Chains A and B, each alone.
Chain A
Amino acid sequence: MLEIKNIETFYGQSQVLFGIDLKIKQGEFVTLIGRNGMGKTTTINSIMGLVKIKSGKIIFSGNQVQNWPSYKIARKGIGLVPEGRQIFPNLSVYENLEATSSNRHRNNNPWTLKKVLKLFPRLKVRLKNMGNQLSGGEQQMLAIGRALMTNPLLLVLDEATEGLAPLIKNEIWDCLNDLKSSGQSILVVDKNIKALTELADRHYIMEKGRIEWFGDSSAFNSDKEILHRYLGI
């Protein structure tokens, strides 16, 4: 579904990504983990066309999408839940969800307002509230719901639970678990290792702009050295 081959990204003169390789298959739940400042968000931004890559390839659904405008990449079927949520504060919850709804890939059982509200019942009572009147957890739910309304082939979540209360975090993880069960392909950037190892199929660990390790959850859990060396756990 998504294949990243040897991408290199720069901010001005300084190189941030050094030959990143990453692969996500249909229906897989993959994580990208690492400490702060290791290049996780830059990798996501490179995939989404928010920063230009200098070399390498990004292949999504058979198309080389590297350096496409971000709206074209989104239209190909990548739904991003960005770091910091970035919901539209001047639109109501209903408008945030309904305005962005689309089913460009002819999903037989598309995400609709009704389905999203079933997934996040908290949003149902907040439909008329403006985006800036929501709590952090509700904003995160709205951000995920908004991405789902575009019926993405791949859902990308950047720091999905950052700054949320433990109970809300659990709600988000439960939701991602449901999405995984429904066959949704997911790429998550987060620091909550415990929850991620229970949910994800495979993991990529980033260190100083490089993928230093990748493997499945059982290999990840069994190697305490990896957790200590790269994640400081």
Chain B
Amino acid sequence: MLGLAAVPLIADVIDEPFYTVMFSRMLILSIGAISLNLILGFGGMVSFGHAVYMGIGSYVVGIGTFHAIEDGISWMGNGLIHLTIAVVFSALTALFIGSISLRTRGVYFIMITLAFAQMFYFIAVGNDNYGGDDGLSLYTRSKFYNILDLSNDNSLYYLNFTLLIVFLYFSHRLINSRFGILIRGAKSNEKRMENIGFPVYRYRLVAFVIAGVICGIAGVLSANQTDFVSPAVMHWTRSGDLIIMVVLGGMGTLFGPVIGAVAFLFLEEFLSGITEFWQIIFGPMLVLIAIFGNGGIDGILVRLDKWWQIKK
């Protein structure tokens, strides 16, 4: 974490601002993966439409800044307003999607979350006022009054970093709370949790909404980081990427999603330098990790640590 905190400083010293941007993206996707891990890793809810919340957060910034510049409505460029609206819209959307999809199980749950996400994707594609399929370039980034201006990449980086720490701590507290224990217990035996006296559906719905809200906030950060919003941010392949990050890093572990997001982007960056068709190499790597890396990279690191302790 200390290393991550020093990234902008090092990037400035070596005059390679690209690293700040790249690590900024890692932090944002880590937050998105942490939110998915809450329901997928700890709750066993395989949402194949989680990127929709990232899209909502992104479009809140895109549309807000568009009107702030085009129509001179200055409050629509305010970051605090963006965050508030993103939280409310993400929560309501997650409540709507969750209240329907959580009545189903297994492959039906996956299909329904995917269907909803695609529905939102096509709404964005069809909305020509805000760029439609081509997307919307941000004329300006979010401003938090005179306190924080995200136009500065370093400011954005440290906001991302701070929020990552906040959500990691929140995640840690949540999964070890009574609520979190019930969610984890229901993952292994839903019926049993019901007949101890806990309505699993309601608990899961709350977890689903919390995860949606956190991912919506990641969307706000993501739009600011890329200076661009398009329907692609909520395409099902983006939801798939988030699942890959969680599985790669280690489902149901605190730091797994962060490790997964960092590893995913590193591999993407590294492998795409070797070949344009980098997924051809990345795919088999994922298969190997799925087969042999029980617990993802986090699991491998834990086993290596145990092996090292025994050897010592």
Interface residues of A (CB under 8 A from B): 48-50, 69-71, 73-75, 79-80, 82, 86, 88-91, 95-96, 98-100, 102, 104, 146-147, 150
Contacts and interface: CB of A to CB of B under 8 A. Distances in A.
A88 B195 contact: no
11 contacts: A49-B195, A50-B191, A73-B195, A74-B194, A88-B193, A89-B188, A90-B188, A91-B188, A99-B178, A146-B196, A150-B196
B146 interface: no
A98 B179 CA distance: 11
Contacts of A75: 197
Nearest to A95: B181
B189 A86 contact: yes
Q: Output the residue of B195, B199, B200 with the most chain A CB within 10 A.
A: B195
Q: Classify the secondary structure of A's interface with B.
A: loop
A104 B196 CA distance: 12
For the complex of A and B, list the 6 residue pairs with the smallest distance between their C-beta atoms, beginning with the closest.
Answer: A74-B197, A99-B181, A70-B195, A88-B185, A75-B197, A86-B192
B198 interface: yes
B184 A90 contact: yes
Nearest to A149: B196
B189 A71 contact: no
A67 to B, nearest CB: 14
A146 B198 CA distance: 13
A150 B178 contact: no
Contacts, number: 63
Contacts of A99: 178, 181-182, 185
Interface string B161-197: 0000000000000000010011011011101111111
Interface size band for B: 10 to 19
A74 B196 contact: yes
Contacts of A104: 197
A89 B186 CA distance: 11
A98 B176 CA distance: 11
Contacts of B194: 69-71, 74
Contacts of A150: 196-197
Interface string B190-234: 011111111110000000000000000000000000000000000
A68 to B, nearest CB: 11
Nearest to B185: A88
A96 B181 CA distance: 8
Interface string B290-312: 00000000000000000000000
B197 A102 contact: yes
Given A70-B195, A88-B193, A99-B181, 17 more contacts: A71-B195, A71-B197, A71-B198, A82-B192, A86-B189, A88-B185, A90-B188, A91-B184, A91-B188, A95-B184, A95-B185, A96-B185, A98-B178, A98-B181, A102-B197, A104-B197, A147-B196
A75 B184 CA distance: 20
B195 A74 contact: yes
A90 B181 CA distance: 10
Given A86-B189, A88-B189, A50 B195 contact: yes
Nearest to A146: B196
A50 B190 CA distance: 12
A90 B196 contact: no
Q: Output the residue of A75, A95, A96 with the most chain B CB within 10 A.
A: A95
Contacts of B178: 98-99
A79 to B, nearest CB: 8
Q: Output the residue of A50, A69, A70 with the most chain B CB within 10 A.
A: A70
A100 B196 contact: yes
A71 B194 CA distance: 5
A98 to B, nearest CB: 7
Contacts of B191: 50, 70
A98 B184 CA distance: 13
